[in-house]
């Protein structure tokens, strides 16, 4: 079943369970939520910004290729590789009144553009590594979560949710777009699907760290393993975990990690 546009949601929802079915495994494309011109404008902005970064040489070839694939998904595949995931939890994370019932709706960006980093912090292997997820450093990620927030708001104002929701707790008030983005920046958490720190990609998709401005230092510099999972430049060292997934996929990744393990 095709996911309907958010503006037509009333015609499709008669029980809260329908919400799950409509979301096609709880996934929804931005094209189900936003009108075409808004998405086109965002795509134009991203393309212009990538062109600037390309001309100044601050992005590695690996990140350029990731961004090219992600743009293609956004432009041409939102119906099949939706950008947003919607989750309905039967218990809320907040329970300010123990006698009341709560549930929670959340939206997750499946194809974030922001890139984090993990580096050793010391020659001592027992020391914790330096991890910087750099969540929401790309403006588009906050924008798409804003779209997700508005979609959830619309759902919560649609029967039968209107029949069962007495009060919105978190956030309690109606917020402007700027306030929602601020709220997202304060409250957003990871879905714990960390990946890509030892990306499976060609070795030459890189560049030297020293040739890049410090601000872009966190970007993954090049491919680490080949399709046989062998670390480039080594004789027989393999990596078989989530770190080799070369860019965020529209799925919870445990099954993919098992499949990666089967390759060794």
Ligand X SMILES: Cc1cc2nc3c(=O)[nH]c(=O)nc-3n(C[C@H](O)[C@H](O)[C@H](O)COP(=O)(O)OP(=O)(O)OC[C@H]3O[C@@H](n4cnc5c(N)ncnc54)[C@H](O)[C@@H]3O)c2cc1C
Catalytic positions, written as ranges: 193, 252
Rounded Cα distance, 65 and 249, in Å: 15
Q: Is 241 one of the binding residues for ligand X (CB under 6 A)?
A: yes
- Backbone dihedral angles phi then psi of residue 215, each to the nearest 5 degrees: -60, -30
Q: Is 252 one of the binding residues for ligand X (CB under 6 A)?
A: yes
Rounded Cα distance, 139 and 74, in Å: 15
Between 50 and 249, name the residue whose CB sits nearer to ligand X.
249
Q: Is 208 one of the binding residues for ligand X (CB under 6 A)?
A: no
Nearest distance from residue 137's CB to ligand X, in Å?
Answer: 22
Identified binder of ligand X from the candidate list 68, 254, 259, 264, rule CB under 6 A? 254
- Backbone dihedral angles phi then psi of residue 27, each to the nearest 5 degrees: -105, 145
User: How many amino acids of this chain bind ligand X (CB under 6 A)?
Assistant: 8
Rounded Cα distance, 86 and 84, in Å: 7
Q: Is 236 one of the binding residues for ligand X (CB under 6 A)?
A: no
Rounded Cα distance, 241 and 221, in Å: 19
Q: Is 127 one of the binding residues for ligand X (CB under 6 A)?
A: no
Q: Is 34 one of the binding residues for ligand X (CB under 6 A)?
A: no
Q: Which range touches ligand X (CB under 6 A), out of 48-56, 64-72, 173-181, 247-255?
A: 247-255
Q: Is 188 helix (H, G, I), strand (E, B) or coil?
A: coil
Q: Is 253 one of the binding residues for ligand X (CB under 6 A)?
A: yes
Closest by Cα among 212, 196, 208 to 247: 196
Q: What residues line the site for ligand X (CB under 6 A)?
A: 192-193, 241-242, 252-254, 257
């Amino acid at each position: 079943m095709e996911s309907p546009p958010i503006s037509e949601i009333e015609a499709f929802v008669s029980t809260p369970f329908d919400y799950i079915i409509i979301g096609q495994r709880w996934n929804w494309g931005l094209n189900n939520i936003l009108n075409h011109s808004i998405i086109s404008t965002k795509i134009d902005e991203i393309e212009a910004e990538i062109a600037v970064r390309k001309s100044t040489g601050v992005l590695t070839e690996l990140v350029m290729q990731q961004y090219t694939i992600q743009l293609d998904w956004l432009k041409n595949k939102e119906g099949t590789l939706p950008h947003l995931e919607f989750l309905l939890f039967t218990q809320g994370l907040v329970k300010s009144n123990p006698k009341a019932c709560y549930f929670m709706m959340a939206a997750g960006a499946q194809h974030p553009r922001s890139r984090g980093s993990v580096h050793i912090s010391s020659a001592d292997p027992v020391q914790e590594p330096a991890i910087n997820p750099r969540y929401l450093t790309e403006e588009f990620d906050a924008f798409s979560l804003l779209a997700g927030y508005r979609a959830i708001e619309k759902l919560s104002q649609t029967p039968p949710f209107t029949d069962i929701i007495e009060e919105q707790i978190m956030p309690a008030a109606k917020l402007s777009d700027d306030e929602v983005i601020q709220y997202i920046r304060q409250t957003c958490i990871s879905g714990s699907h960390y990946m890509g720190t030892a990306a499976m990609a060609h070795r030459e998709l890189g560049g030297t760290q020293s040739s890049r401005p410090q601000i872009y230092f966190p970007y993954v510099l090049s491919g680490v393993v080949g399709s046989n999972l062998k670390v480039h430049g080594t004789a027989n060292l393999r990596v078989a975990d989530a770190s080799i997934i070369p860019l965020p996929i529209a799925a919870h990744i445990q099954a993919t990690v098992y499949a990666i393990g089967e390759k060794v």
